[in-house]
Structure formats: structure tokens, C-alpha cells
Structure 1
Amino acid sequence: MGEYDSGSKLMIPESMQGVSYDIGGQIRMIWEVMKEPLIVPMLKVGVYICLAMSLMLFMERLYMGIVIILVKLFWKKPEQRYKYEPIQDDVELGSSNFPVVLIQIPMFNEKEVYKVSIGAACNLSWPSDRLVIQVLDDSTDPAIKQMVEIECQRWASKGINITYQIRENRTGYKAGALKEGLKRSYVKHCEYVAIFDADFRPEPDFLRRAIPFLVGNPDMALVQARWRFVNADECLLTRMQEMSLDYHFTVEQEVGSATHAFFGFNGTAGVWRIAAINEAGGWKDRTTVEDMDLAVRASLRGWKFLYLGDLEAKSELPSTLRAFRFQQHRWSCGPANLFRKMVMEIVTNKKVKFWKKVYVIYSFFFVRKIIAHMVTFFFYCVVLPLTILVPEVHVPIWGAVYIPSIITILNSVGTPRSIHLLFYWILFENVMSLHRTKATFIGLLEAGRANEWVVTEKLGDSVNNNKNKTSDATAKKTNAKAPKRTRSKFVERLVYD
């Protein structure tokens, strides 16, 4: 026993001699033993990798910042860069000079918003005999299906060409519903298809402003509109989302449209040329970002896209953490999974220029969809905190302070009104970085949840709208509904990753 004690004592570093053998002492002893030979080298490698990723993200943000300034100052407006002639009403020709447009509204148990989306589509300023509206309802609640069908019948009785379409199963989710809708015999008479998710409500002149670009430019496949959010001021969660999404629309999509004529379709509030969809292979459900999948495939076949920042469609942001987390999992996992599936197809493609391949692979996918999530988590949430415990590892001030500050400021240009919330936005992004990084790895490795699809819960904006009404009856109704919107369970506030 004495020999064992003396032998064990020799294994303890001199700095640890005399430390009591409690749990804390044992942890400190293990830390001291492992720090120099293992922790310090690994942490230094981690710092170098994270600094490299930070520089990649910084250069990407700086490049887009410079380009967007040039676009705003010197680029011609889309109406001047492309052939554009508004479609005019003609007394002699009637409505025959208007192309036939298909409107698709995919739905899934959209009890709160189905009326506004159907109403917005039916109120589009387009000849009724040149407009076909499909409500693609995958709802599983019989009561909701009945309400949606009745709403469609109500508009049909007013002379609107609207069809209510259901499927026996949800195979392919949204992509499956859209694909099934295009198979209908009457679709062969349609030249273009506009897609609006159930919470989207385009302005009446939406088609009149978007369609002429497609009519005048045969090589254009898509016209994408900007999203505006009816509930951005509902809570701090929606304000944080608005900051991130406004940068995406104000900078990322504007730059992609102006310089490379490529950006990822947002899945809604866009008008497609049906011939381009068919040539690209149609809708596919191999990932949870069927919209981005279609956009990349169409781009590889030479089709061009146009983003119109001044063409807007109102929509709703997730106002609960649970709904937001499911949405972010899909938005982070899907692009990574698509990158895994398509990277070699992009590399070997011969129809697009080399620099466009570089833009799609490096800028669009690698930096924005993979690096951006990973550097936020590993650098700011893991490596930097660990360097406080390991003073032997030094992080240069330009990597720890200057670059993150510039990236944060550049991200705020899309939403100037929320610049005072930057501190909270940083904390918010760091908290969500673990969830997004995990989803990114699931997509890259095509793990178990790679194809998980949970429809984002929508609550409607009735409470916000009712704030402007002064009648006592409406006020009572609003007060009665308010608890349903603001109440949240404690377990839903916890993030399980």
C-alpha cells in the first residue's frame, strides 16, 4: 500500500502537491496534467481555423457591402437593365394580350391565415379569365379542410377561377403538393406560376409589375419579390428575425441578382416560368429546401433570375421560439444537405461560366450556409471563452474584436431602425448558433433528421390589426384572444440540443 501511494505521488505535478483529494482538487490536477500537452495545442489549432473562417466571412460581407453600394449608386434600375413593357388593357384585344398565370397556395392546417392568403390571391389585378388559382391543401384536420374548401367555393361563386385540391398523403410535403398541382390538365395553358405560402398576401398589382419582366426576357426563369413582415414589432424575437432577414433581402439577394443573376428562390412570393421548372426537372423532395434545389438546377441550365426589392409581399414571422427553432433547423439543414448532393454537379456543369460556379459553391453555399453558422458557434461560443481559461493561447485583437464588430455592423444595414438592438441581436445569434450548427452537420452528414419537415406555425396578425380599431366589441374580442397569443409553456422556452 505504501509503494502504491509513493508511486502515485510521483505522477502528480509539483504545482499540485498538497492539493486535497476532493473533487475540485482532482479536476484541477487533471486540468494541469492535460493542459500543456493537449489542451493548448488543440486550442491554438482551433483559433487558427476560426480566424480563417472569420476572415472568409468578413471578406464575403465586405464584398457584398461594396457591391451593394455600387448597385445603389450606379446600377440601372431593373426596368432599364431588362426589356420591360407594362401589359396594358386593350379594348379590341380584350384580355388576350395577358398571359395565363397559375397561382399556387400550398397549405397545411392553416386555420389562422387561410382567408387572407386566398383573399389576396383572388384580389390580384389580373383578368379573371387569365388567372387560375390552386389551393393545395395538405391539411390533416377535417374541420380546417372543410373551412378552406368553403372559402374557395365562396370565391368561385364570385366568378374567380379557383380550385381546391387535396392529396391522399403528404408525400414530398410542399414540393409534392406543388408538383402535383402542375400535373393538372388545365396547367398546360398557363405560362407562369406564382407561388404564395399561406401567410403571404401580395398587393393587387403584384402580377402586373412582375410578369412583364418574364414576358420581355425569354431567358428569365424567376422574378422574386421581397418579404415584409406584418408582426415584426410583436416581440423581441420577431425584431431579431427581421434584422437577419432584411440583410438577406437588402444585400444578399440584391447582389446575387445584380452581378450573377443567381440567388436562392425563397419558396414563396415569386413568379416562375413554367417551362423553366420543367426543363430543370421539376420539383424534387430530396431535401427540405425544394425551392433552393429548383433554383440551383435552373441556374445550371442557363436560366436567369431577377430580384425586385421594391416589389413586396406581406408575411408573418414565427412569434414563438418553438416555431422559430423548427424553421431554422430546416433552413440550416436543407442547404447543407443540398450542397452535399449538388457540389459535383455544379463543378462538372458546362453551361455556366467558371466565376458563376465559384460564386454558387464558395459564396452562396460554403460561406453563407456553412461557415457562417459554424464560426458563430465554435469561435464566439467555444474557442474565445476557453482562451480565458488558457492564457497561453493568444487571440489577436483584430480577430476577437475588430472583425466581429465590422461583420455585425454590416449585418445591421438592412434594418437601420433596429440598430440600437445590435447587442441583443448578437446574443440571440450566439444562442441560436448551436442549433444551426447542429442542423448544418445533420445536413452535411445526412443524418436522421436531415429530411425532417415541420410546418412553421402561423398565428395571423389579427391582434395587431385590431389595435387600430376603437369599437368596444372589437376591443373585447382582442382582449379575449390575447392570452392565446402571448401564453407560452415553460418547457417551450428551453432549447434542447
Structure 2
Amino acid sequence: MECQRWGSKGINIKYEVRDNRNGYKAGALKEGLKHSYVKQCDFVAIFDADFQPEPDFLWHTIPFLVHNPQLSLVQARWKYVNADECLLTRLQEMSLDYHFSAEQEVGSSTHAFFGFNGTAGVWRIAAIEEAGGWKDRTTVEDMDLAVRASLKGWKFLFLGSVKVKNELPSTLKAYRYQQHRWSCGPANLFRKMCMEIARNKKVSLWKKVHVIYSFFFVRKVVAHIVTFVFYIVVLPATVLVPEVVVPKWGAVYIPAIITILNAVGTPRSLHLLVFWILFENVMSLHRAKATFIGLLEAGRVNEWIVTEKLGDAFKLKSATKAFKKHRMRLGDRIHLLEFAAGAYLFFCGCYDIAFGNNHYFLYLFIQAFAFLIVGFGYVGTFVPNS
């Protein structure tokens, strides 16, 4: 109806929809570029459904593409309309602010490769076509295209001054599905593109090392697995096996520095640092599992579930009444993996009190409590049958 209203005023606007979900988002983007009127266009702006660009978005982004023919992508920053909704959204804000400030802004300013976020960006259509178009071989079609375009020599620009409003997932269920896709997809893409990048004779050795080692292996594979193995497996195991000793610089100092650097991008949430650490450690279990699924191409490797956003629906009185009526039903909210990890950490904490001397039980009990809270589903906004 909105498109029809603008069309009646003489504005050149089209509304298109597919009758299938083939290829998911990649399939939709590919289908959209096939329309005849796209041939008249040089650029395409991409937004997920919950994103709300300002009216002057194109005025701030298109000039960079027009005046720099080597530029293929202008990526804008995200601004969260529901960051204060609950603790879950506050913690997500901390992680995403670090992603934009440290990874993308630094990558852009040093002319290094950084990935497309899949939304709030403007692409040069010629770059998309030269890179081979959208591919649905993984669940991270945005990263796939960005890597291929970079290998073709195209440049990217991150524009932190342009912020696009959007909504963070505020239910644990939606967030878990999103994190599965964001962890599994890059690992699977790494498996598919590693040799392709290594054999590319047109790319410098330094760029190959940066993309394969720094971007993919360290950030998308090692980071998830090491976090889970160190904090949830090795550190608790030192209580049971006292012969294994973790030095203080490895157990305390380096993790503390990494944590502070992650939180610098969101100074208003510095007081939530402890909660952020505990929650990230809990999610490392889910992310490590998804990473292995992507590397091994196991069962859920191509699972695509649209991230549920609540919008204003939950503010309705009917939803509030339903919440009050069903909030104590735990059957749909228990997550066995988190519950098992919490029980393991609690056992290690008790063992440390009885036989240990490192005082790790102070961390183990708190982390076990965090796992149990998530295991019982008491994180984020709870919507019945969501």
C-alpha cells in the first residue's frame, strides 16, 4: 500500500515478492537483481526487514561510490532501538559495538578486508556481477560475496557516521538461532573457500594470509573454540587434575585485557562487564558446536531460521496477559547442553572447595549459575510459543 501511494505520485517504485524460499536470502537477492529495471541502476541498497534507514541515507553513502570507481561497498553502522529492553539486548550491544569499532572501522581505515554485514549497506552492482553474484552455498551469503569481491580487487568502506536503526533479538530462542547461523556459516565458508583463496594467483601472499588466517581461522573458528575449551573445559579440569597448572597471566591477566578492550566500545555498559563475560562463556558452548557443524558440514549446516524480532507486538496488553499466564511453563525453555555444562562446573567448584587450593570455585560457581540460568531459559524476553 505504501509503494502504491508513492507510485501514484509519479515515483519510480516497485514492490516485488517471491513465491518460494529457494536459496533463502541469497536466493531473494539474486532474484531481485534479475528484474529488467535493475539494468538501469548502478547501485543496490540492502536492508533487513527491521532496519529503518534515515531519509538522507543515500545522500551520505552514494557519493563515495560515485567518486571512487574502485569502491564496491559502503557499509553503515547499526543503531539499536531496543538496546535497553533487557539484559540480553544490552550484552548484544556490547559485542556488536566492538565488532563495528574494532573490526570494521579499523579494517576500513587500514584498507584491509572486512566482511559485509548483510544489511545497511550499498553495493555497486558491477562488483556483485564480477564477483559471481549471490551464492546460497552457505548461510552467510553476505560474507561469501564480500570475500569474492575482495579477491577481485574491489575495496570496501565502513561509514561509522551513518547509523541505521534496527532491532536486536530479545528472546533467547531467537538469539541462539542467530548465533548458530553466524558461527556455523563462516566456518562452513572457510572450509569451502580456503583452497580457493590459497590457489588464487592474482592475490598477494599477504592478502591470502590476512583473509585465511586472521579473518577466517582466528576470528571465525579459533575464537569460538578456544573460549569454550579454555573456560569451560580446561580451567575446570585443572581442579580435577592438579598436575595441570594454568599461569595467572593466562587465567586472569590476558582474559581481563581482552574483556576490557571488548567493552571500551560501549562505555555506558562497563558495569555489566561481569555479566558479559559469563554470558559470552555460556554462548561459547553454542558457538563452538555450530563452528564444528560448519567445519564438518554436519546436519544443521544449512539451517536457515529467520531471526525473530518482536517489534511492538509484545507491548500489547494481550501479549502481556499471555506472558503472565504462561511464564512459569519450563518445558519449552530447558536447554540440556547448558544445563549439563552448569552441572559439570558446579561439581568442579564443589571439588575445588574440598580438595583444591587455587580458589577457582569462586569463578566456577558463578559460571555454573550463569549456565543454569540460560539452561532454564531465564534470559531475555520470554514470549509464549515464540
TM-score normalised according to structure 1 size: 0.65
The amino acid across from 1:344 in the alignment is M
1:397 corresponds to 2:248:
yes
The CA distance in 2 between the partners of 1:155 and 1:392, in whole Å, is: 72
Native 8 Å contact 1:231 1:461 kept in 2: no
Native 8 Å contact 1:262 1:305 kept in 2: yes
Q: How far 1:252 moved relative to its partner?
A: 0.5
Native 8 Å contact 1:322 1:492 kept in 2: no
Q: How far 1:482 moved relative to its partner?
A: 4.1
Q: Indicate how the Cα distance of structure 1 residues 285 and 234 shifts in structure 2: closer, same or farther if over 3 A, else same.
A: same
Native 8 Å contact 1:232 1:317 kept in 2: yes
Aligned length: 335
Native 8 Å contact 2:76 2:163 kept in 1: yes
Identity among equivalent positions (%) equals: 76
The amino acid across from 2:241 in the alignment is V
Native 8 Å contact 1:230 1:461 kept in 2: no
Q: How far 1:392 moved relative to its partner?
A: 1.5
Gap runs ≥5 in structure 1: 1-149, 464-476
- What are the within-5 Å matches in structure 2 for residues 94-133 of structure 1? none
The CA distance in 1 between the partners of 2:322 and 2:3, in whole Å, is: 27
Q: How far 1:438 moved relative to its partner?
A: 0.5
1:153 corresponds to 2:4:
yes
The CA distance in 1 between the partners of 2:2 and 2:66, in whole Å, is: 32
Q: Indicate how the Cα distance of structure 1 residues 223 and 375 shifts in structure 2: closer, same or farther if over 3 A, else same.
A: same
Partner of 2:133: 282
Which shifted more, 355-364 or 199-208? 355-364
Determine helix, strand or coil for the equivalent of 2:161.
strand
Q: How far 1:362 moved relative to its partner?
A: 1.2
The CA distance in 2 between the partners of 1:160 and 1:455, in whole Å, is: 31
Determine helix, strand or coil for the equivalent of 2:156.
strand
The amino acid across from 1:494 in the alignment is I
The CA distance in 2 between the partners of 1:180 and 1:431, in whole Å, is: 38
Determine helix, strand or coil for the equivalent of 1:457.
coil
TM-score normalised according to structure 2 size: 0.83
Native 8 Å contact 1:260 1:356 kept in 2: no
Q: How far 1:158 moved relative to its partner?
A: 3.9
The amino acid across from 1:493 in the alignment is R
Which of 271, 274, 283 lines up with 1:423 in the alignment?
274
1:369 corresponds to 2:220:
yes
Partner of 1:269: 120
Which of 151, 161, 170 lines up with 2:21 in the alignment?
170
Q: CA RMSD in A?
A: 1.7
Deviations 1:266-308 (A, max 9, x none): 0000000000000000000000000000000000000000001
The amino acid across from 1:346 in the alignment is I
Which of 206, 213, 217 lines up with 2:57 in the alignment?
206
Native 8 Å contact 1:230 1:314 kept in 2: yes
Q: How far 1:461 moved relative to its partner?
A: 4.4
Which of 311, 315, 329 lines up with 2:180 in the alignment?
329
1:446 corresponds to 2:274:
no
Partner of 1:349: 200
The amino acid across from 2:178 in the alignment is Q
1:186 corresponds to 2:42:
no
The CA distance in 1 between the partners of 2:50 and 2:101, in whole Å, is: 21
Partner of 1:494: 334
Q: How far 1:393 moved relative to its partner?
A: 1.2
The amino acid across from 2:334 in the alignment is L
Determine helix, strand or coil for the equivalent of 2:305.
coil
Native 8 Å contact 1:321 1:493 kept in 2: no
Native 8 Å contact 2:70 2:155 kept in 1: yes
1:293 corresponds to 2:133:
no
Partner of 2:382: none
Q: How far 1:430 moved relative to its partner?
A: 1.0
The CA distance in 1 between the partners of 2:2 and 2:119, in whole Å, is: 21
Native 8 Å contact 2:313 2:319 kept in 1: no
Deviations 1:198-224 (A, max 9, x none): 000111111001000000010100000
The amino acid across from 1:264 in the alignment is G
Q: How far 1:492 moved relative to its partner?
A: 4.5
The CA distance in 2 between the partners of 1:223 and 1:360, in whole Å, is: 19
Deviations 1:403-449 (A, max 9, x none): 11111111101111101001001110111111100000000011111
Gap runs ≥5 in structure 2: 338-386
The amino acid across from 2:335 in the alignment is V
- What are the within-5 Å matches in structure 2 for residues 458-477 of structure 1? 458-461=309-312
1:311 corresponds to 2:162:
yes
The CA distance in 2 between the partners of 1:461 and 1:224, in whole Å, is: 27
Q: How far 1:164 moved relative to its partner?
A: 2.3
The amino acid across from 1:268 in the alignment is T
Q: How far 1:180 moved relative to its partner?
A: 0.4
Native 8 Å contact 1:459 1:485 kept in 2: no
Determine helix, strand or coil for the equivalent of 2:282.
helix
Native 8 Å contact 1:269 1:313 kept in 2: yes
The CA distance in 1 between the partners of 2:66 and 2:111, in whole Å, is: 21
Q: How far 1:255 moved relative to its partner?
A: 1.5
